[in-house]
Amino acid sequence: MSEIQVASRYAKALIDLAAEQNSVEPVKKDIELFLDTCRVNTQLQAILKNPIISLDKKANILDGLFGDKLNKMILSFFKIVVRKGRSQVLYATGKEFINQYNILKNVVKATVTSASPLSPDNIAQIEEVVKQATKGEVILTAQVDPDLIGGFILKVGDKQFDTSLSSKLNKLKKEFQQN
């Protein structure tokens, strides 16, 4: 079974357990803390993925880092996953938990890339359009790519809306080449 499938199953179990105990929000905050710590400290990820390091040592490291910061349920979950020899999927499980949380709460992630920085009003307008289209909460990330020349590219989930000048010029170039 692939790492993504295992992580997805563990995340599903964790979100079900959190929902059963009415603690989805605190668990989400704890998972975000774990993910942020892993992003900042790549050595932690390396330790969790290293098959040479003993399972007890991995559990002790997690307990030492997060013992007083995370919910006991999360620590117990981490220890169970480590005891099963699956510590390498903890980071992927955390990311998958956030994905499943977003689906559960109808949170949509969107990215807008423009040739120059967008004003706060433009960002608010784009957020509102995406919110109306998806009927959910929107987390919008704005990026700048001067190669676009003008216009923007909006990615919402697996959909992309490209109104950039560079894209239009490339289409025009292809049409000229075909004719």
Q: How confident is the model at residue 159 (pLDDT cuts 50, 70, 90)?
A: confident
Listed in order, the ranges of the chain carrying CATH 1.10.520.20 are 3-103
Domain at 3-103: CATH code: 1.10.520.20
Q: How confident is the model at residue 1 (pLDDT cuts 50, 70, 90)?
A: low
What percent of the chain has pLDDT above 90?
Answer: 51
Say how far apart CA 32 and CA 91 lie, in whole Å: 10
- To the question of domain 107-178 being in CATH 3.40.30, the answer is yes
Structure tokens at 30: 């704890």
Q: pTM for the complete prediction?
A: 0.77
- The 3-class SS string of the chain reads CCHHHHHHHHHHHHHHHHHHCCCHHHHHHHHHHHHHHHHHCHHHHHHHHCCCCCHHHHHHHHHHHHCCCCCHHHHHHHHHHHHCCCHHHHHHHHHHHHHHHHHHCCEEEEEEEECCCCCHHHHHHHHHHHHHHHCCEEEEEEEECHHHCCCEEEEECCEEEECCHHHHHHHHHHHHHHC
Listed in order, the ranges of the chain carrying CATH 3.40.30 are 107-178
What percent of the chain has pLDDT above 70?
Answer: 99
